[in-house]
Amino acid sequence: MARTQGSGKFRTPKAMYDAWCEYKAYCDGKTKFVTTFSQRESRHITEEIPAPVSYSIKGFCVYVGMTYENFNLTYEHSNGDKFKHVIARMLTECEIDTKEKLESARIEPRLAGLLLSKYGYSTTVEQKTDFTNIDKLIEGIDRMADA
């Protein structure tokens, strides 16, 4: 890993980006074991299948051995100009990766709202109610009641 020994700090933006690329490979290479019953062989079969996880800044912090708070203080606030473009790229890659994995069903689709909400997406649709038709309906009912 391209960081100073034991400090959790990156000396250069390139060192941070190299560690980010290692982290992405780690996330993409995750696997899980799935057990199914084979009727042909009349037994349970356990297979290791790909199970990639979406990238996140918090996951990256855990991967490199630093706290999220330390990452924010060290890179986003005090050294912001030096690392700004790398952090922006990391955030963009997090969003794109999550969307791609959801669209290709490599991540459970039911998690879409939760995973994409941190990027400003919403599962609810704002609806504007047009009350003019309701007002006309009420007027019509009132006229019928008076008659």
Amino acid at 13: P
In a domain, 5, yes or no: no
Which residues share a beta bridge with 32? 49
4 close to 10: Cβ distance less than 8 angstroms: yes
In a domain, 7, yes or no: no
Q: CA nearest 20: which of 33, 1, 45, 38?
A: 1
In a domain, 1, yes or no: no
Please give the residue range of the domain that contains residue 34: 13-146
Alpha carbon 6 to its chain centroid, in Å, reads 28
pLDDT digits (tens, 9 = 90+) for 52-90: 888 999 999 999 999 999 998 888 776 657 888 999 999
> What's the confidence (pLDDT) of residue 113?
73
Percent of the chain with pLDDT over 70: 80
Average pLDDT over residues 19-31: 94
CATH number of residue 115's parent domain: 1.10.132.80
Q: What is the mean pLDDT of the chain?
A: 81
Counting the structural domains of the chain, the total is 1
> What's the confidence (pLDDT) of residue 110?
74
Q: Residues of 112-138 as b/e, b for ≥16 C-beta within 10 angstroms?
A: beebbeeeeeeeeeeeeeeeeeeeeee
